[in-house]
Amino acid sequence: MIIEQIWNEFKIKLHDDNFISDDFNDEVCQSLMSLLSGEDRKPFRERILNANVRFCIGEQKYIVFFNHDDDLYRLDFVGNAGDWKLLFIECITIPIEKIESLPFDNFLPLKEIDENWIREERRISTMIHWYNFTKNVFGIEKALEHFRIGAGEFLAARAWVPYFSDKKAFIVYISWYESRVNGEKVSIEKFSDDECIIKYNEPIWFRMYNVATHLKFQIPFEEYKNLYEFIWQDRAKCSGWKIEINYENNSTILKFHNYTL
């Protein structure tokens, strides 16, 4: 089978760590080269080499699945044996393989964690796209101003959280929103009129930068981090707080203080 020949040729390159740009589709070449090449990526290459695989043939792609650590990985190839390209390496696959009768409306869900990831990857990628566009035209300061939306979020908190003072309502609202809408692992660690603390466990914002490799080619990490902190500084100021942002292991700690302290 062609797919088996492609897979065997791919594994030889994987074993020898000798991929070249022609092995990948142009639009993902940089990200896939960085994902598969170099000594630091050897454990990932070995993971693929030692995996039990399942083949599938789509309308235009040759597809290889393998499981690892409860994740189902998928590699998409096009071409023929001896003349192929790797298109994607993904952990998310929308579960629609065939449409045999119309109208079709059986849109099966993914795991909640995967659907959250799809939403967040689109949201964050769009944010970075517009940030870069504005920065290239008007400069960094104007680009940051585009994300000064804390006043609107404070208004939402006051409208939708009636049980607390306005400042504490913001803490409740933004924590609920980040958890339920953005899929973050968030907890309120301290909750008083003078000080509130929100803890993010493995925040998606930073995991996204490490996993969605296209972001690394769009924005330097320090600039990406600065945008995150700018958004939180604006949120805090508009809701009447000062904020201190700390990073501990894989967690982000947001400490909100009164201006008068």
Using CA atoms, how far apart are residues 88 and 73, in angstroms rounded to an integer?
Answer: 10
Apex 229 CA angle, 189 and 134, nearest 5: 150
Distance from C-alpha of 192 to C-alpha of 105, rounded to nearest angstrom: 48
pTM of the full structure: 0.86
Q: 112-258: which CATH topology?
A: Muramoyl-pentapeptide Carboxypeptidase; domain 2 (3.30.1380)
Domain ranges of the chain: 2-90, 112-258
Percentage of the chain beyond pLDDT 90 is 82
Rounded alpha-carbon distances, angstroms, from residue 144 to 57, 63, 150, 239, 254: 45, 41, 12, 19, 20
Highest mean pLDDT (candidates 40-44, 90-94, 127-131, 213-217): 127-131
Mean pLDDT of 193-209: 96
Residue 91: CB atoms within 10 Å: 12
pLDDT one-digit tens code per residue, 97-147: 999 899 999 999 999 989 999 999 999 999 999 999 999 999 999 999 999
User: Among 34, 40, 8, 6, which residue's Cα sits nearest to residue 21?
Assistant: 34
**Average pLDDT along the chain:** 93
Give the span between the Cα atoms of 11 and 81, in whole angstroms.
13
Beta bridge partners of 236: none
Q: What's the pLDDT at 260?
A: 61
d(CA 130, CA 185): 26
Count of CA atoms in the C-beta half-sphere (13 A) of 240: 17
Give me the pLDDT at residue 82, please.
76
Using one digit for the tens of pLDDT, what is the confidence trace for 34-84? 889 999 999 989 989 999 999 999 999 999 999 877 688 999 999 887 789
